[in-house]
Amino acid sequence: MSKMTSPMADDNLSDYEKLLARAKEKLPHETEVHERLKIPEPEVMIEGKTTVIRNLADIADALRREPQHIFGYLLRELGTAGALEGKRALLKGNVPTSQISDRLERYIIEYVTCSECDRPDTRIVKDGRVQILVCETCGAHRPVKVRKAAKQESKGLKEGEVYELQIEDIGKRGDGIARNGDYIIYVPGTTKGVQVKVKIVKISGRTAFGTVVA
C-alpha cells in the first residue's frame, strides 16, 4: 500500500518555509552583532568580609581582555582593594552583585565596544600613556577616557558627618549594615530594621564605619 501525501500539506509546509525565510530576512543585522557582546553573568559570593567573583577569567576570555585589566578597572570604580586568585577575583568588603554588573557594563562600553560600528572586535594599544581602542572591523580608533565618576561620588559621604540611616542587615560579627548610595556602612550595636543617626568615623573605599549618636 503506497503512502499518500496531501498536496494541501505540501502547500502549507511551503508557505511556512516562505514565512520563516521572510522573517529571517527582516531580522536586523545588529542582532547577530550584539549576541557576541553577551558575557557570562558574574558569579558573586560572599566569604566573610570578602566578595568573590568566581568567574572573572571566563568573563575576560569572552571580552578578549586580560583579567588584570578588568580587575584593575573594577577596583578603581568600586573604590576598594582586592587580589586575583586563579580564575577568581577577591574584593574587600561586601559588594552587591548589581554594582559589579553595572561596572562590567561600563567597562564594555569604554574598553570593548567600537563607538563607530558598535562591534566588540577591538583591541587596546598604548601610545605613550594613552590607551587607544582600535576596531579590527571598521578600522576606527579612539582614546580610552578614564572616567572620574568614582571620585565625584565620594563627596556623598564624609568622615565626621552624621547621617540618618536604615539598618538593612546584620553582618557575621553582629554589626548592623546600612547603605548610602554606593557605600556599605557598618554600625555596631544596632539591629535590623531600625532607623538611627550615625556618625561616620572611617571611610575605606566604598566601605564605611560609623557609631550611633543620640
Phi, psi dihedral angles at 135 (to 5 degrees): -90, 125
Mean pLDDT for the stretch of residues 84-110: 91
Helix axes 67-78, 56-63, angle to 10 degrees: 110
- 23 located within any domain: no
70-89 residue pLDDT tens: 999 999 889 889 999 999 99
Confidence of residue 115 (pLDDT cuts 50, 70, 90): confident
Residue (of 159, 122, 163, 158) closest to 143 by Cα position: 122
pLDDT at 173: 76
The answer to whether residue 141 is domain-embedded is no
110 and 51 part of one domain: yes
Average pLDDT over residues 103-117: 88
- Reply yes or no on whether the pLDDT at 134 is more than 70: yes
- Which of 71, 94, 115 lies at the terminal end of a domain, its last residue? 115
Using 50, 70 and 90 to split pLDDT, how confident is the model at 148?
very low
Asked whether residue 146 carries a pLDDT value surpassing 70, the answer given is no
Domain membership flag for residue 158: yes
Residues 109 and 156 placed together within one structural domain of the fold: no
Domain end among 115, 143, 173: 115
100: which 3 cell numbers? 559589579
Query: What's the pLDDT score for residue 89?
Result: 96
Number of domains, the chain: 2
Higher-confidence position of 182 and 37: 182
Q: Global pTM?
A: 0.54
DSSP H/E element including 51: strand 50-53
Percent of the chain with pLDDT over 90: 43
When pLDDT is averaged across residues 199-210 and rounded to a whole number, the result is 88
pLDDT of residue 210: 94
Which of 123, 80, 114, 122 has its CA nearest to residue 100? 80
Structural domain includes residue 132: no
- The pLDDT tens digits for 16-69 are 566 656 655 654 443 333 445 678 999 999 999 999 999 999 999 999 999 999
- CB of 113 within 8 A of CB of 123? no
CATH number for the domain harbouring residue 168: 2.40.50.140
Q: Determine the structural domain holding residue 59 and report its residue range.
A: 44-115
Domain of 77, CATH number, reads 3.30.70.3150
Cell, residue 142: 579612539
Long-range contacts, stretch 115-123, CB < 8 angstroms, 24+ apart:
115/140, 115/142, 116/140, 118/30, 118/33, 118/34, 119/33, 119/36, 120/33, 120/36, 120/37, 120/63, 120/64, 123/64
Query: How confident is the model at residue 74, as a pLDDT?
Result: 94
Within-domain flag for 13: no
